[in-house]
């Protein structure tokens, strides 16, 4: 479905559909139908009543304007919807209307509907995170020997490999996926407790109905209803925030590598993407920009959700009413970041020649650390660092290589021969354990899958 203009940079079309009016109504009515069928299976209500409820529960027949106004008056969407469903059932079967919503309370409907929406969104987010994973894994393998500047505090530092850098992006995202999987598994549970969480209307059949209802909806059945205990959803929200931030870190690095002064990597070009309305020469990091915006937006949303956790007694005033738009925004924000960076990772281009040029532009000063370590055993650490500080400044000022400057420094050539100085700027010999670390990251994989429900 088309995304509203105000949300055009805040969600994907697929996730916008998940949280659309039609989808929300369908989820709420699915709860009511499943409840009636579960109770009918257990003999709590007549099977004919369950069938009548299922027939009447058609979201296309709901007047959205009336429902929205009713929700504002009632403080919940569930009350006017249950009223509508009861009237719709009663118009064809007056006896069956008395069995609508049997044993449930309004929050049971809204909470379980939200969980059903999250179950759908889960698959979409995981599919895009899997795309990111596969693309970065391949990218890291391809560039395991592509040498580039390491950068600390945005300044040139000793060399690394692009493969290791990509493995770092991948590792953080994989850890995020694993946390997200566990928190989704915990959060996707039925809410069914009746007025105060005892299911007293159902007498001693409450647990049976809960278990059957959970099975029918494809959800876990909790040990007890959780009306004012929002910790599971809060943990999920936080995990969504962490993985979005990891995607944002990936996006930030790529956007910096795309700067004209750097030009070491770039998002793939496509018609209508990355251009400027007034400057035809520009190639903007659009996927990265959208993801970074998501990473900036989500912490405030999570903070808002956490503040709503402090709820009163068995049913809350205000906390539950604040949740739906916040949770929906958190999920859609993460989904947009995952989708955007899946596209970026799949089409990321690299200019290895430019990487080599940027290394050469440092005139070997990035190897000052290496030279200092070689000298330290001869003249002491402090003296070595002082000599390299002076030599580095001289190399930059005179636009000469660090090795040339050092070869003319008596205190250095006394301890380092010409061969050692010539080998000083060999990047391949100063990568340390980069490849081992890269391989270790790629050999690890998430232990949990967010798509586990597909197996059931």
SS3 per residue for the chain: CCCCHHHCCCCCHHHHHHCCHHHHHHHHHHHHHHHHHHHHHCCCCCHHHHHHHHHHCCHHHCCHHHHHHHHHHHCCCHHHHHHHHHHHHHCCCHHHHCCCCCCCCHHHHHHHHHHHHHHHHHHHHHHHHHHHHHHHHHHHHHCCCCEEEEEECCEEEEEEEHHHHHHHHHHHHHHHHHHHHHHHHHHCECCCCCCCCCCHHHHHHHHHHHHHHHHHHCCECCCCCCCCCCHHHHHHHHHHHHHHHHHHHHHHHHHHHCCCCCCCEECCCECCECCCCCCCCCCCCHHHHHHHHHHHHHHHHHHHHHHCCCCCCCCCCCHHHHHHHHHHHHHHHHHHHHHHHHHHHHHCEECHHHHHHHHHCCCCHHHHHHHHHHHHHHHCHHHHHHHHHHHHHHHHHHCCCHHHHHHCCHHHHCCCCHHHHHHCCCHHHHCCCHHHHHHHHHHCCCCCCCCHHHHC
The answer to whether 354 is a known catalytic residue is: no
Task: From residue 274, give the alpha-carbon distance in Å to each of 112, 288, 321.
Answer: 41, 10, 40
Mean pLDDT of 229-248: 98
What is residue 417's predicted lDDT score, i.e. its pLDDT? 87
Q: Is the pLDDT of residue 280 over 80?
A: no
395 and 283, same domain (yes or no) = no
283 CB-contact burial (10 Å; exposed 0-12 / middle 13-18 / buried 19+): middle
d(C-alpha 152, C-alpha 8), whole Å = 35
Q: Which of 8, 68, 270, 276 is catalytic?
A: 276
Per-residue pLDDT at 275: 55
**Mean pLDDT within 323-333:** 97
Domain count, the chain: 2
Catalytic residue check, 315 = yes
In 10 A of CB 440, how many CB atoms?
12
Q: Are residues 284 and 181 in the same domain?
A: yes
Task: Specify the pairing of strand 265-266 against strand 349-350.
Answer: antiparallel
Q: Does 396 share its domain with 265?
A: no
> In this model, does residue 452 exceed pLDDT 90?
no
The reply to whether 231 and 320 lie within a common domain is yes
443 and 338 in a single domain? The answer is yes
Report pLDDT digits (tens) over 159-197: 999 999 999 999 999 999 999 999 999 999 999 999 999
pLDDT in tens, 107-132: 999 999 999 999 999 999 999 999 99
Kindly report the CATH number assigned to the domain that includes residue 323: 1.20.200.10
Q: How confident is the model at residue 447 (pLDDT cuts 50, 70, 90)?
A: low
Show the tokens assigned to 328.
């929906």
Q: Is residue 159 part of a domain?
A: yes
- Residue where the block lists tokens 């069995």: 99
- The answer to whether residues 351 and 263 touch, using CB atoms and an 8 Å cutoff, is yes
- In a domain? residue 214: no
The pLDDT assigned to 274 comes to 56
Q: What is the mean pLDDT of residues 84-101?
A: 96
Specify whether 322 is located in the same domain as 387: no
Domain containing 398: what range?
Answer: 365-424
In a domain, 118, yes or no: yes
> Can you give the pLDDT at residue 278?
55
- Of 58 and 445, more confident: 58
Query: Residue 449 — very low, low, confident or very high, per pLDDT cuts 50/70/90?
Result: very low
CATH number, position 371: 1.10.40.30
83 alpha carbon, distance to own chain's centre: 38
Residue 358 has pLDDT above 90, yes or no: yes
* Average pLDDT, integer, range 137-151: 98
Report the pLDDT averaged over residues 133-151: 98
- Tell me the C-alpha to C-alpha distance, in Å, between residue 349 and each of 159, 437, 451: 20, 23, 30
Of these residues, 175, 263, 315, 400, which one is catalytic? Answer: 315
**257 and 170 co-located in one domain:** yes
Per-residue pLDDT at 104 exceeds 90:
yes
Shared domain for 351 and 377, answered yes or no, is: no
pLDDT above 50: residue 453: no
pLDDT at 434: 97
Distance from C-alpha of 139 to C-alpha of 146, rounded to nearest angstrom: 11
Q: 265-266 and 155-161: which strand pairing? A: unpaired
In-domain check, residue 131? yes
Query: Is a pLDDT exceeding 70 seen at residue 262?
Result: yes
| pLDDT reading at 448 higher than 60 | no
b/e map 27-47, b = 16+ CB within 10 Å: bbbbbbbbbbbbbbbeebbee
The span from the CA of 152 to the CA of 150, in Å, is: 7
Answer yes or no: is 84 within a domain.
no
Do residues 295 and 171 both lie within one domain? yes
**Is residue 157 scored above 90 in pLDDT?**
yes
Q: Domain check: are 261 and 349 in the same one?
A: yes
Is residue 83 assigned to a domain? no
Same-domain check for residues 250 and 283: yes
pLDDT for 75 beyond 60:
yes
Domain contains 98: no
Is the domain of 255 the same as that of 165? yes
| 394 in a structural domain | yes
Per-residue pLDDT of 392-424, as tens digits, reads: 999 999 999 999 999 999 999 989 888 888 888
């Amino acid at each position: 479905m088309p995304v509203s203009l105000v949300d055009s940079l805040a969600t994907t079309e697929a996730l916008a559909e998940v949280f659309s009016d039609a989808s929300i109504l369908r989820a709420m009515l699915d709860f009511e139908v499943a409840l009636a069928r579960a109770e009918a299976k257990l003999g709590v209500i007549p099977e004919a009543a369950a069938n009548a409820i299922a027939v009447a529960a058609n979201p296309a027949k709901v007047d959205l304007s009336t429902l929205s106004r009713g929700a504002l008056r009632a403080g919940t969407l569930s009350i006017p919807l249950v009223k509508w469903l009861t009237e719709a059932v009663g118009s064809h079967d007056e006896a069956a209307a008395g069995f609508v919503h049997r044993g449930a309370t309004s929050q049971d409907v809204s909470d379980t509907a939200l969980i059903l929406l999250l179950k759908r969104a889960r698959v979409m987010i995981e599919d895009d995170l899997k795309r990111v994973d596969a693309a970065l894994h391949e990218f890291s393998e391809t560039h395991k020997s592509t040498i580039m500047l390491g950068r600390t505090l945005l300044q040139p530092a000793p060399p690394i490999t692009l493969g290791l850098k990509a493995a770092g992006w991948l590792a953080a995202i994989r850890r995020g996926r694993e946390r997200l999987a566990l928190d989704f598994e915990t959060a996707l549970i039925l809410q069914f407790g009746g007025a105060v969480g005892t299911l007293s209307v159902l007498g001693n059949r409450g647990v049976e109905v809960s278990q059957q209802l959970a099975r029918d909806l494809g959800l876990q059945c909790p040990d007890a209803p959780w009306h004012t205990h929002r910790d599971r959803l809060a943990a999920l929200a936080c995990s969504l925030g962490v993985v979005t931030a990891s995607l944002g870190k990936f996006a930030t690095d790529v956007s910096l590598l795309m700067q004209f002064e750097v030009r070491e990597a770039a998002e793939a070009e496509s018609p209508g993407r990355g251009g400027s309305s007034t400057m035809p020469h520009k190639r903007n990091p659009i996927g990265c920009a959208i993801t970074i915006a998501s990473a900036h937006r989500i912490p405030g949303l999570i903070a808002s959700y956490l503040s709503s956790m402090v709820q009163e007694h068995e049913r809350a005033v205000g906390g539950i009413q604040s949740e739906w738009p916040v949770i929906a925004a958190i999920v859609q924000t993460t989904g947009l970041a995952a989708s955007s960076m899946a596209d970026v990772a799949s089409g990321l281009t690299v200019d290895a020649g430019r990487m080599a040029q940027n290394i050469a532009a440092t005139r070997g000063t990035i190897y000052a650390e290496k030279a200092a370590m070689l000298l330290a055993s001869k003249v002491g650490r402090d003296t070595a660092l002082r000599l390299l500080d002076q030599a580095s400044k001289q190399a930059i000022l005179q636009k000469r290589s660090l090795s040339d400057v050092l070869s003319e420094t008596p205190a250095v050539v006394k301890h380092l021969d010409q061969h050692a100085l010539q080998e000083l700027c060999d990047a391949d010999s100063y990568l340390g354990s980069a490849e081992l670390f890269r391989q270790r990251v790629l050999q690890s994989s998430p232990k949990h899958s967010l798509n586990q429900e597909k197996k059931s």
